[in-house]
Amino acid sequence: MMRQPLPPAELDRNRHAAPQVFERLRDAIISLALAPGTVLSRAALAQQYGVSQTPVRDALMILAEEGLVDIFPQHATKVSQINLLAARQAHFLRRALEIEIVRTLAEAPDPALIQDLQALVDEQRRALEVNDLARLSALDQAFHQRQYVEAGVMELWVLQRRHSGHIDRLRHLHLPLLGKAATILDDHQRIVDAIASGRGEAAETHLRRHLSGTLARIEDLCQRFPDYVRR
């Protein structure tokens, strides 16, 4: 598994440090730049980000609440293994939310929304052409987030994101496999077309297929990455 570069160390001094450390560490964990089992040293992270150990501690505690790190008092803090039960529950939550969202959006398709979603799909296609999977993944998130915004339920996006760490890591394991990235593009295009034409049932069908792809490959992923996963 290829590792992505760790996030830049420099923080915005006009913002509180702890949320920034949390965001950067979370992104690195989700992207697998920090793989399951990686030991996280408070002292080393504090030095890397140029802060005291207090914001680092606070960031690690929030990551622990999301199940992304395991804290062993007086011993070590490690990036957690991917919890399959947590991944399945997060998938259930997201599917329930987004089925309702795409149906709602298809009831009264908004041209501005369709234009934005299509632009995101086109950007994803360009990212795939140059094999920029990190950008493709970020655009995937933006594609779904735009729908929450349009439906007026942005707080639900924040809610499901707090539970998505394990399923998102599985998706990052799955993304480089042959055909997965192209399937994402095809699914997104079908979802856009269904919403644009007011076909709520079709949008739901395409969304279900889109969200279920990684879970359908769990056994294969477990065999490929046995050290990363906890059943």
- Reported as a pLDDT band with limits 50, 70 and 90, residue 18 is very high
pLDDT at 12: 78
At residue 10, does pLDDT exceed 90? no
Residue 222 located in a structural domain: yes
Please tell me the distance from the alpha carbon of residue 187 to that of residue 132, in angstroms, as a whole number. 18
- Reported as a pLDDT band with limits 50, 70 and 90, residue 8 is low
| Residue 115 C-alpha from the chain's centroid | 23
Please tell me the distance from the alpha carbon of residue 43 to that of residue 47, in angstroms, as a whole number. 6
Residue 170 located in a structural domain: yes
pTM exceeding 0.95: no
Residue 197 contacts residue 109 (beta carbons within 8 Å):
yes
Residue 115 located in a structural domain: yes
Q: What's the CATH code of the domain at 214?
A: 1.20.120.530
Question: Could you give the angle at the alpha carbon of 19 between the alpha carbons of 16 and 20, nearest 5°?
Answer: 85
Count structural domains, the chain. 2
Residue 31 located in a structural domain: yes
pLDDT at 57: 95
